[in-house]
Amino acid sequence: MNIALIAHDKKKNDLVQFSTAYQTIFAKHTLFATGTTGARISEATGLPITRFQSGPLGGDQEIGAMIAKNQMDAVFFFRDPLTSQPHEPDVTALVRLCDVYSIPLATNMGTAELLIRGLEEGLMDWRNIVKENGGSNGK
């Protein structure tokens, strides 16, 4: 599975800790991340991560493009709902794309725990069928 890892500045430590705790699960998948987040996770875990630009510089849009092309299977995006983000339209667009293309999206630790356990248990295997059939966005 292709997995995106994204975190706003005040949530980066949380995602690094989460990725460290579930390193063995993430190691079985192909990881993508926005700039600084990817660097910090890779440094803490040693996991190989394809890094895009930072979110405000287009990284969110790069991940969104992968979603639109049916090349992303899950997104862990630890958002900071209490801080205004200069690239909020990009964030909103990314969340919208996850909804349009039925890509599981965890925006907080609670949902991330459920999603990572689902990955571990094989509950995401339906994504392989979607990919084989050329993708579906519900239209």
CATH code of the domain in which 99 resides: 3.40.50.1380
User: Is residue 74 situated within a structural domain?
Assistant: yes
User: Is residue 39 situated within a structural domain?
Assistant: no
In DSSP terms, 105 is beta-bridged to: 75
Q: What is the pLDDT of residues 82-101, one digit of tens each?
A: 887 777 878 899 999 999 99
Residue 73, domain extent = 57-107
Number of domains into which the chain is organized: 1
User: Is residue 66 situated within a structural domain?
Assistant: yes
Active-site annotation, residues: 60
Q: Which burial class, exposed, middle or buried, applies to 71 when counting CB atoms under 10 A from its CB (0-12, 13-18, 19+)?
A: middle
Q: What is the pLDDT of residues 25-84, one digit of tens each?
A: 999 999 999 999 999 999 999 999 999 998 888 899 999 999 999 999 999 999 998 887
pTM value surpassing 0.75: yes
User: Is residue 96 situated within a structural domain?
Assistant: yes
Whether the pLDDT of residue 137 is over 70: the answer is no
User: Is residue 90 situated within a structural domain?
Assistant: yes
User: Is residue 80 situated within a structural domain?
Assistant: yes
User: Is residue 115 situated within a structural domain?
Assistant: no
Distance CA 25, CA 85 (A): 30
